[in-house]
Chain A
Amino acid sequence: MSVSKEELLHIANLADLKINDSEIDKYIENLDDILEYVKVLETAPISDLNETIGANNNANVFRKDEVQKFENVDGLLSNAKDIERNMYKIPKVL
């Protein structure tokens, strides 16, 4: 099965990535190669098995729901390219 151009562009749009026309064939070839390789999973004897959820079968980890004051606002904002009065600035949405 080959990934179609439309499908690739749909996926790229979902992932917020732009693929140039000149790159499309290469992406499809690489994807097809990998999807072909992972077909080996179809032969795995897994019909009776459950999925592994998380790396270890441990229970949920909870902590006390206590309010903690966050101090490092400047540190948090220090890597943003565009801020205004302790807020991230983005283009107009509405």
Chain B
Amino acid sequence: MDLTELTVHELQKKLKNKEVTSYEITKAYLDRINEKENEVGAFVTVTETEALADAKKADDEINNTNDNMGNNNLVGIPIGIKDNLCTKGIKTTCSSKMLEDFVSPYNATVVEKVLDEKMPILGKLNMDEFAMGSSTENSAIKVTHNPWDLNKVPGGSSGGSAAAVATNMVPWALGSDTGGSIRQPASLCGVVGLKPTYGLVSRYGLVAFASSLDQVGPITKDVTDCAMLLNVIAGHDEKDSTSYDTPKIDYTTSLKNDVKELKIGVPKEFFGDGIDKEVKDKLYEAIEVYKELGATVEECSLNVAEYALATYYIIACAEASSNLGRFDGIRYGHRTTNFSSLKELYTNSRTEGFGDEVKRRIILGTYVLSSGYYDAYYKKAQKVRTFVKQKFDEQFKKYDVLLTPVSPTTAFKIGEKKENPLQMYLADICTVSINIASIPAISLPCGVDSNGMPIGMQLIGDRFAEETILNAAYTFEQKIKFRENYKPTFKK
């Protein structure tokens, strides 16, 4: 039996029954990385030695606790971490030349939580530089390939995380989502990804891109694993003043395989001309599945996508231009050798360290915040943000869940959109409004197109309604059994 084919909840049962050890599981995943990493390119750093040592410690703990392993015990289950989450003693590069040799002196809170569970870390996963992009092509480290077709992108910015989960190189992974960076790569790689409500998960130690939009979330093989990983990372953190003090919930108890009471709204504006016909058709099939399962499904109107995308690129770039001001070549990060003054040290370090897309967004962000343009762009965008939130609030008075596409198309070819930033930005049209409104959404596979590429469905919930969208996703997943029917082919 190939252990890497299993979901975490399946692995957990085997660990509990002492059929396998954490060492065997971790070794199996490392072997899989050795076999497939050359083709896929998902990792920035593989931490083989540390992972195997941690797995041995986990096995000791399991042997010493005898039969006391509870259902929520994740001791010994390995994980992959997106390379913008700080890991003490392991490089955190953000896939940027700026941080290529940066080793954080502390752990992100979510990493601390993972380590508290005694989960071995398999490595750090590739991404668009500083999480800016929708294809992982903006990584300064390497190109990541989509395991369903190696000529295509895995999506982004958490493309390494999604590709690694789809390739079975990690059992699950952490990603981050500022405008779709968990959900879109999950969709393009045929796996499950959740962007939690803003404030549910601590951002402490997540290298900041746009602080009012960033959230850390799970990328997993199925919905049950997604709920289990959310259990690990959710919760208030005094080190993040925007994190919410909400009651502790066991999200796995929300998976009821029943949507008879569920009211689903389908916003027609998310099914417009820009969305590929095969994507739309697959989602219409999914809607029929929900009707068969007893849910109430209605078409509704939510005309926010274009406003939200424009607002997103103003707010995200403005916040990024401010957040990335910290990279000055002095305290950490790339430092130029070519300078004769302090200003030159700053400018040359930043110009050499940042890639094109990061510079482009810093310039745009500085522009919209600069004197004379602030009211026309930033202030207006903040008002439109209120408008977008209100429009979602209206929908959640009528519906429990909104159903939309995740990405307008399935995975596109590597290089296809790289030279046209605006085209790349349009890849986020269905996902950014969720970050603008601070609400949660899950992406899960609902089928494949005529080329065998996965198509994702997005289920959007009201603030802190993760249980509702997880159950809706789970019930659908139990019906269509995507993982049993479709597998990545590593087509060349």
Would you call A63 and B385 a contact (CB within 8 A)? no
Nearest CB in chain A to that of B390: its residue: A49
Contacts of A46 in B (CB 8 A): 380, 383-384, 386-387
Asked whether A72 lies within 8 Å of B340 as measured between CB atoms, the reply is no
Q: Shortest beta-carbon distance, A37 to chain B, in Å?
A: 6
Q: Provide the residues of chain B in CB contact with A67, threshold 8 Å.
A: none
Task: Name the interface residues of B398-433: CB closer than 8 Å to any CB of A.
Answer: 421-422, 425
Stretch of B10-18, B188-196, B362-370 at the chain-chain interface: B362-370
Q: Which of B135-143, B293-301, B347-355 contacts A (4 or more CB under 8 A)?
A: B347-355
**Least CB distance, A36 to chain B, in whole angstroms:** 9
Contact with A along B299-326 (1 / 0, CB 8 A): 0000000110111011000000100010
Contact for B307 among A15, A40, A53, A75, CB less than 8 A: A40
A93 nearest CB neighbor, chain B only: B342
Complex contacts, B377 vs chain A, CB 8 Å? 38
Is B330 an interface residue, CB under 8 A from the partner? Answer: yes
Interface membership of chain B positions 440-477, coded 1 if the CB is closer than 8 angstroms to chain A and 0 otherwise:
00000000000000000000000100000000000000
* A86 close to chain B: CB less than 8 A: no
Measured CB to CB, the closest approach of chain B to A75, in angstroms, equals 3
Chain B's closest residue to A80 (CB) is B331
Residues on A with C-beta less than 8 A from B390 are 49
Q: Which of A8, A46, A50 has the most CB of B within 10 A?
A: A46
Answer whether residue B396 sits at the interface, using C-beta atoms and an 8 A cutoff.
no
Once the chains bind, are B385 and A52 in contact (CB under 8 Å)? yes
Once the chains are docked, how many angstroms separate the CA of A78 from the CA of B102? 9
Q: Is the beta-carbon distance between B331 and A79 smaller than 8 angstroms? A: yes
Q: Which residues of B contact A14 (CB under 8 A)?
A: 366, 370
Contact at B380–A41, with CB atoms within 8 Å? Answer: yes
Q: Does A22 contact B (CB under 8 A)?
A: no
Residues of A contacting B425 in the complex (Cβ-Cβ under 8 angstroms): 34, 37
User: Which of the segments B20-28, B31-39, B162-170, B236-244 contacts the partner chain?
Assistant: B236-244
Bound state CA distance, A44 and B382, in angstroms?
12
C-alpha spacing A12/B354, complex, angstroms: 13
B339 near A91: Cβ-Cβ < 8 Å: yes
Q: Which of B105, B212, B311, B367 contacts A11 (CB 8 A)?
A: B367
Q: Are B313 and A38 in contact (CB under 8 A)?
A: yes
Could you say which of A30, A90, A93 contacts B360, with CB atoms under 8 Å apart?
A30
Report B103-139 residues with CB < 8 Å from chain A CB: 103, 105-106
Question: What are the residues of chain B within 8 A of A63 when measuring CB–CB?
Answer: 238
Other-chain contact of B421, A8, A12, A30, A81 (Cβ < 8 Å)? A30
Contacts of B367 in A (CB 8 A): 3, 11, 31
Q: Roughly how many angstroms separate A13 CA and B382 CA in the complex, as a whole number?
A: 26
Contact B421 A88 (CB under 8 A): no
| Contact digits for A17-34, partner B, Cβ 8 Å, 1 yes 0 no | 110000000010011011
With a cutoff of 8 Å between Cβ atoms, the chain B residues found around residue A15 in the complex are 321, 350, 362-363, 366
Closest residue of A by beta carbon distance from B381: A41
Q: Is A84 an interface residue (CB 8 A)?
A: no
Measured in the bound complex, the distance between the Cα atoms of B420 and A33 in whole Å is: 10
**Nearest Cβ in chain B — how far from A10, in angstroms?**
8
For chain A, residues 46 to 94, give those with C-beta under 8 angstroms from any C-beta of chain B.
Answer: 46, 49-56, 58, 61, 63, 72, 75-76, 78-82, 88, 90-91, 93
Residue of B nearest to A79 (CB): B332
* Chain A residues in 8 Å Cβ range of B487: none
Picked from B238, B331, B346, the residue with its CB within 8 Å of the CB of A16 is: B346
Task: Report A49 CB to chain B, min CB distance, Å.
Answer: 5
Whether a CB of chain A sits under 8 angstroms from the CB of B341 is yes
* B324 CB → nearest A CB, Å: 9
- Taking CB as reference atom, which chain A residue is nearest B315? A52
Taken together as a complex, chains A and B put the C-alpha atoms of A34 and B316 apart, in Å, by 13
Q: Nearest residue in B to A20 (C-beta to C-beta)? A: B351
How many Å lie between the Cα of A11 and that of B390 in the bound state?
34
B275 at the interface (CB under 8 A from A): no
- Neighbouring A residues of B145 by C-beta, 8 Å: none
CB-based contact A37/B363 at 8 Å: no
B200-218 interface bits toward A, Cβ cutoff 8 Å, 1 = contact, 0 = none: 0000000000001100000
| Of the residues B321, B382, B463, contact of A52 by C-beta under 8 Å | B382
Residues of chain B lying within 8 A (CB to CB) of residue A56 = 198-199, 242, 244, 438, 463
Chain B positions within 8 Å of A33 at CB level: 421-422
A49–B384 Cα distance when bound, in Å, is 8
Partner of A51, one of B329, B360, B379: B379
Known contacts: A34-B364, A38-B310, A41-B381. The answer to whether A82 contacts B199 by CB under 8 A is no
- Please name all residues of chain B whose beta carbon is closer than 8 Å to the beta carbon of A40 when the two chains form the complex: 306-307, 310
7 CB contacts below 8 A, A to B, read A11-B370, A17-B347, A44-B384, A51-B385, A52-B389, A79-B103, A91-B342
Contacts A44-B387, A55-B213 known; 11 new A-B pairs at CB < 8 A: A16-B325, A34-B364, A38-B381, A41-B307, A46-B386, A51-B385, A55-B199, A55-B242, A56-B463, A80-B330, A81-B335
Which residues on A are within 8 Å of B, measured CB to CB?
Answer: 3, 8, 11-12, 14-18, 27, 30-31, 33-34, 37-42, 44-46, 49-56, 58, 61, 63, 72, 75-76, 78-82, 88, 90-91, 93
